[in-house]
Amino acid sequence: MAFEDFWNKTFKEQAGDKPVFDDWLDKYLNILKKASTPILDLGCGKGNNALYLTEKGFNVVACDYSKEAIKSLKKFVPKAKTKLVDISKKLPFNNQEFEIIIADLSLHYFDSKTTMQIMEEIKRILKKGGHIFARVNSLNDTNHGAGQGVKLEENYYFVDGYNKRFFSIEEVCKYFSIIGKVEAFEAEMFRLKKPKNLIEICVEK
């Protein structure tokens, strides 16, 4: 099954489920409130963070690879603008268009070369002094496939039907420092069926 078909099938099966968000962005509210441009939700899925942001009164541009994800998001988060975007390609946005980018669990599906290219594109569309807030799979995320499946690259596996990269803090700094100054730490998320170990990232360009 092609990855596009995989994700469309996954989000279609979840179409009736309202997005559920956690409070990871609360600590960044002071920065979010200063933004004069819409917030870009890059790889929005069915809209967990877009729902959080619109409920807080922010203007959001939500984009994803899956048309079924966008369809579901439009249903539950009608205030968000949406765009079908493959983030592994050149992003359809202008240079320095956004002050804030959110990339929650959307940047850990790619090989090393593509991940580098994505970082360069994020840097291009982010304003100087702007921020990206992201979460990615941790090497400690054994509940969700770390070290399992078919190894494709170092810390990059085909597992559970699709490709997953798992990061150390050092690897996060390697990739995200392309954009700017990196702060990163290990964290946990509990809104899935099993606890998820991840790395939370704040980068200022």
User: Which pTM was predicted?
Assistant: 0.94
Q: Give pLDDT tens digits for 34-80.
A: 999 999 999 999 899 999 999 999 999 999 999 988 998 999 999 99
Q: Are 144 and 194 in contact (CB under 8 A)?
A: yes
Q: Which domain CATH number covers 106?
A: 3.40.50.150
User: What's the pLDDT score for residue 192?
Assistant: 82
Euclidean distance between CA atoms 103 and 40, whole angstroms: 8
Domain enclosing residue 98, as ranges: 3-204
Taking residue 125's Cβ as centre, other Cβ atoms within 10 Å add up to 18
Count of domains for the chain: 1
Closest to 23 (Cα-Cα) out of 205, 204, 157, 200: 200
Helix residue spans in the chain (DSSP H): 3-13, 29-32, 48-55, 67-76, 112-125, 169-176
**Joined tokens for residue 16:** 């009736």
With cut-offs at 50, 70 and 90, classify the pLDDT of residue 1: very low
DSSP string, 46-69: TTHHHHHHHHTT--EEEEES-HHH
Mutual angle of helices 112-125 and 169-176, in 10-degree steps: 50
Q: Give pLDDT tens digits for 3-15.
A: 667 665 666 667 6
